[in-house]
Structure 1
Amino acid sequence: MTTEKIVATLQLPDHFQGTAEQKKAVTALANARLPFEVEARWRTTKHPFTVDFVRVAQCPRVVPFASVRDKVEACKPGEILIGLDRQRKPFHGSFLADDPHWGFEVGSRRGKSTFLSLSAAQILHQDPAAEATGIDVKRESFKSLFGVPRFHLHNDPADIAAMWNGIRHVKKLMDRRCNERADDPTLEFPFHLLLIDELSQFSAQSMQLWRQIKEKGDPAHPPVWDDIAAIMWQGAAFRVHIVLAGQRIDHQITGGIGLITSLGFRGLAGFRRQNWMRLAGTFPVPRSRPERGRWIYSDGESETWVQNIWATDDEIKQWATTTSHDTATEAAVAGPTEGSGKWEPGTPAAEESTQRGAEWVTGNVDAAAYLGIHPETFRKRRQAHEIPNTQRSGRSPTWTTQSLDEWGAMWEQETSEQPAEVA
Structure 2
Amino acid sequence: MDQFFSLIGDAIAGIGVLYGMAVDAGYGGYVWLTLLVLALAAGIYRVVRHMQRGRVTLGGVVFNTQAGLDASGASVFRSARQVNERPSLSPFWGRPTYLRALPYPVAVILLWMWVEAPYLLAALAAGGSVYLARAIYRLISTRRHRKSIVVPLAKALSPVVQEHAERILEGTIIPRDYALPHAEVVIPLPDGHHPTIPAEVSRVVHARLGGEWKTSITQGAPYLLTFRHKPSPPEYVGYDDVAEMMIHGHGEHSGLWRPIIGLGAEKEVAGLNFDGHVVHLGISAGTGAGKSNLMRVLATQFAIRSGGNARQVYLDVKGDDEGMQHVPGMMVLNDIGDVTNLDGIYQQWEVIQWFVNEMDARRRGLRGPKEGWEPLVLFNDEQNAFGKFSRQAWELIKDKGDPKTPPVWQNMYLLGVMGRAFKIRMINAYQVMSAAATGGGNAQDGSELRSQFGNKMLARFTPAMWDSLVGTRPRGQSSDIPGRWLHVNNAGLARSVQIPHFEPSHIIDLCTYAGLEIPSVGQPAIPDASPSPVPNPRDRATYEIIPPRGDEGTGDNPPPFDPLPEYAPAGGRGSDENVIPFRARTEAPVPKAEKEPADERMTLQQACHLGIVEMSYDAAKRRRSRARQRGDWFPEGQKIGSGAETYLVSELRAYFGEDETGQDKGRERAR
TMscore range, shorter length: 0.5 to 0.7
The structure, 1 or 2, with the larger RCO (C-alpha pairs under 8 Å, 6+ apart) is: 1
Aligned twin of 1:346:
none
How far off its partner does 1:220 sit? 0.9
- Note the 1:305-344 alignment, pairs <5 A: 305-319=496-510, 321-322=511-512, 324=514
Conserved 8 A contact 2:86-2:174: no
Rg larger in structure: 2
56-65 or 200-209, which deviates more: 56-65
Q: Give the distance between the partners of 2:409 and 2:175, measured in 1 at CA.
A: 39
Counterpart of 1:270 in structure 2 is: 460
Alignment of 1:19-38 (within 5 A): 19-21=151-153, 29-30=176-177, 36-38=180-182
Summarize the alignment of residues 80-91 of structure 1 with structure 2, pairs less than 5 Å apart: 80-91=259-270
TM-score of the superposed pair, with normalisation by structure 1: 0.67
Counterpart residue number, 1:397: none
Task: Describe the shift of the 1:78–1:205 C-alpha distance in structure 2 as closer, same or farther (beyond 3 A).
Answer: same
Distance in structure 2 (CA, Å) of the matches to 1:28 and 1:296: 24
Give CA deviations for 1:144-191 in whole Å, capped at 9, x if unaligned.
12254411111113321111112122222222222336x855544221
Among candidates 34, 37, 40, match of residue 184 of structure 2 = 40
Q: Measure, in 1, the Cα distance between the counterparts of 2:226 and 2:287.
A: 37
1:288 aligned to which of 478, 487, 499: 478
What SS does the aligned partner of 2:436 have? coil
- List per-residue Cα deviations over 1:108-129 (Å, max 9, x = no partner): 1111110012211110111221
> Are 1:8 and 1:54, in contact at CA under 8 Å, matched by a contact in 2?
no
- The whole-number CA distance in structure 2 between the counterparts of 1:122 and 1:114 is 13
Residue of 348, 366, 382 corresponding to 1:163: 348
Corresponding residue for residue 383 of structure 1: none
Which of residues 355, 365, 372 in structure 2 aligns to 1:180?
365
Q: Which residue of 2 aligns with 1:76?
A: 255
Match of 1:130 in 2: 310
Are 2:401 and 1:229 aligned? no
Separation in 2 of the partners of 1:253 and 1:287? 23
Change (3 A) 1:323 1:263: farther
Structure 2 partner of 1:215:
399
Q: Distance in 1 between matches of 2:438 and 2:230?
A: 36
What amino acid is aligned across from residue 423 of structure 2 in structure 1?
A: R
Q: Which amino acid aligns with 1:232?
A: G
Alignment check: 8 A CA contact 1:8 1:53 kept: no
Q: Flag the 1:186–1:327 CA change in 2: closer, same or farther, 3 A.
A: closer
Are residues 1:139 and 2:319 paired?
Answer: yes
Residue 286 of structure 2 corresponds to residue 107 of structure 1: yes
Do 1:7 and 1:55's aligned partners in 2 also have CA atoms closer than 8 Å?
no
Aligned match of 1:97: 276
Would the alpha carbon gap of residues 208 and 7 (structure 1) be closer, same or farther in structure 2, given more than 3 Å must change? farther
Please report the RMSD computed on the Cα atoms of aligned residues, expressed in angstroms. 3.2
Higher strand content, 1 or 2: 1
C-alpha distance in 2, partners of 1:125/1:58? Answer: 30
Query: Are 1:192 and 2:376 matched, yes or no?
Result: yes
Equivalenced residue count is: 314
The Cα shift of 1:322 comes to 4.1
Matches within 5 A, 1:13-24: 13-14=88-89, 18-21=150-153
Matches within 5 A, 1:402-417: none
How far residue 262 of structure 1 moved from its aligned partner, in angstroms, is 0.8
Gaps of 5+ in 1: 1-5, 329-423
Query: Does the aligned pair in 2 maintain the 1:28–1:284 contact within 8 Å?
Result: no
AA of the residue aligned to 2:246: V
CA 1:7–1:70: 2 relative to 1, 3 Å: farther
C-alpha separation in 2, matches of 1:300 and 1:29? 28
After superposing the two structures, state which structure 1 stretch, 218-227 or 68-77, moved more.
68-77
Q: In the alignment, residue 404 of structure 2 is paired with which amino acid?
A: A
Q: 1:12 aligns with which of 84, 87, 97?
A: 87
Distance 1:215 1:197 in 2: 28
- 2:299 pairs, out of 109, 115, 120, with 120
Once the two structures are overlaid, the 10-residue window that deviates more, 78-87 or 250-259, is 250-259
User: Which stretches of structure 1, 4 residues or longer, exceed 3 Å deviation after superposition?
Assistant: 6-9, 14-24, 26-29, 36-39, 50-56, 183-188, 321-328
Identity %: 24
> Which residue among 49, 57, 62 is the counterpart of 2:236?
62
Match of 1:385 in 2: none
Deviates more, 1:270-279 or 1:188-197: 188-197
Residues 1:282 and 1:325: Cα distance change in structure 2 (over 3 Å): same
Question: How far apart are the structure 2 equivalents of 1:38 and 1:111?
Answer: 29
> Which runs of 5 or more structure 2 residues have no equivalent in the other structure?
1-80, 91-145, 157-172, 190-223, 249-253, 338-343, 519-671
Work out the CA distance in 1 between the residues paired with 2:457 and 2:261. 11
Task: Flag the 1:317–1:40 CA change in 2: closer, same or farther, 3 A.
Answer: same
* 8 Å CA contact retained: 1:63, 1:308: yes
TM-score of the pair, normalised by structure 2: 0.43
